Homo-oligomer: A and B are copies of this chain.
Amino acid sequence: MATIKPSVPKGTRDFSPAEMVKRNFIFDTIKGVFRKYGYQQIETPSMENLSTLTGKYGDEGDKLMFKILNSGDYLSKVDPAKLNVANSNQLVADISEKALRYDLTVPFARYVVQHQNEITFPFKRFQVQPVWRADRPQKGRYREFFQCDADVVGSDSLLNEAEFILIYDEALSALGLKDFSIKINNRKILSGVADVIGKSDNIIDLTVAIDKLDKIGLDGVIKELLERGFTIDDIEKLKPVILLEGSNQTKLASLREALATSAIGLKGCEEIAQVFSYINHFKLQKATIELDITLARGLNYYTGAIFEVKTNEVAMGSIGGGGRYDDLTGMFGLKGLTGAGISFGADRIYDVMEELNLFPADANQSTVVLISCFDKDGELYALPLLQQLRNNDINAELYPAGAKIKKQLDYANNKNIPYTVVIGSDEMESGLLTFKDMASGEQSKLTADEIIAKLAAL
């Protein structure tokens, strides 16, 4: 067999033991918080029927989906004339009927519709699974990456929105983030803004322009609005809204004034006020809540609240986002089921935590103690200790006899094992084993029972 230089497909990654421990720390923390709030885990297949996915993510999404070639003689039923034309787009439907999951939301909608008779509503589910997109790989963008979503369907209570804020606050604080903002907006406020200047049909143009305030400043936004057909008069009316300042309550008061003539706009204000009112009954840990009407992410499907989370400690895009959508399952024929959901950007959170050095020092420890011995006699002597350690739920390894002690201690160091026990002939004779703290280098002579007691107490 020819030797192949092994590699992974571009845009995909191996995760080493050290990376896995850190990733598990993030996922386990977030999952624990989801569960604490009553969300239950589901999983869906990695592949879905193309009929389930196609058309749900726009043309771009259809293109970036990884399609799976039909198995067996996949060309046997293809019209030869069609093969001659050699049109990739047209041929796809004939040779592929499945694709890899592109996000977790559409499979979730499919799940809810398919299992609607087994589900108790409101249905609070979370899902942590990889998704695949044939994007051009670049720094921080992968072709296989994990999404980490919680959604509730079948409840229009704004308590759900308030709880999403609590979930973000609790999970990110538990991960060690100390300063982050949860931005909130409401699609109905954006509709109201377009409403009051009589440009309801231009809401997309409007929001695309003001979404850039952070990047291009007020002058830039005005220029863009003019280019997009808004008048000087429109812009004068928009200014107080775009330049909203002060506390969330002050902003809300100004908005209510500016949107006084728009029923939908006032409804949006009321919804946000209700969410704030819920939140006031809770004590937040590290999050700052910020009403930000320039926030327009996912405008095409959100119908109520819109969320985005940003860390203020390092420069990084959003580390989370979500919102309310009123008709998620409609695409599969189940109408009138409202939902709301949030997502954690696990890869970015990982990068933030690395940069801020937030992973626990022992995050990379899998084995607590390595037993080293010089020879077969030492090995046999060590076996009962090895089992007792494990019986006490202490992760323990015995390095197989035969290797030099230096090699064994190198192994402990490389694997970040904090303690070693060395067993030579003196140790076997006296019953006092050499116990070493690898970080401090400190050594002591202890009985097997003392070692177990010491490690069990950690």
Name the distance in Å between A148's Cβ and chain B's nearest Cβ: 15
Contact across chains for B72 and A88 when beta carbons are under 8 A apart: yes
CA distance A42 to B24 in the complex (A): 11
Chain A interface residue count, Cβ-Cβ cutoff 8 angstroms: 110
Of all chain B residues, the one with the shortest Cβ separation from A335 is B3
A183 at the interface (CB under 8 A from B): no
Name the distance in Å between A257's Cβ and chain B's nearest Cβ: 27
Contact across chains for A4 and B36 when beta carbons are under 8 A apart: no
Known: A72-B88, A398-B159. A49 touches B8 (CB 8 A): yes
CB-defined interface of A67-105 with B at 8 Å, one 1/0 digit per residue? Answer: 111011111101010011011100110011110100000
Q: What residues on B are CB-neighbors of A301 within 8 Å?
A: none
A430 at the interface (CB under 8 A from B): no
A425 at the interface (CB under 8 A from B): no
CA distance A110 to B7 in the complex (A): 7
Contact across chains for A66 and B75 when beta carbons are under 8 A apart: no
Contact across chains for B333 and A402 when beta carbons are under 8 A apart: no
Which of A111-119, A292-300, A346-354, A449-457 has 4 or more CB atoms under 8 Å from chain B?
A: A111-119
Known: A144-B45, A159-B398. A111 touches B75 (CB 8 A): no
Q: What residues on B are CB-neighbors of A166 within 8 Å?
A: 387
Q: Which of A42, A80, A401 has the most CB of B within 10 A?
A: A42
A43 at the interface (CB under 8 A from B): yes
Report which of B6, B98, B157, B387 forms a contact with A110, defined as CB distance below 8 A.
B6
CA distance A43 to B8 in the complex (A): 12
Between A and B, 23 residue pairs with Cβ closer than 8 Å are A3-B332, A6-B110, A7-B52, A8-B44, A8-B45, A9-B47, A9-B49, A9-B97, A9-B98, A16-B42, A20-B40, A24-B41, A36-B394, A36-B395, A46-B144, A47-B132, A83-B83, A157-B400, A157-B401, A157-B402, A159-B379, A159-B401, A281-B387
Residues of A that sit less than 8 Å from B by CB: 1, 3-9, 12-17, 20-21, 24, 35-49, 51-52, 55, 63-64, 66-69, 71-76, 78, 80, 83-84, 86-88, 91-92, 95-98, 100, 110-111, 113-115, 118, 120, 122, 124-125, 130, 132, 134, 144, 155, 157, 159-160, 166, 170, 278, 281-283, 331-333, 366-367, 370, 379-380, 383-384, 387, 390, 393-398, 400-402, 410-411, 414-415
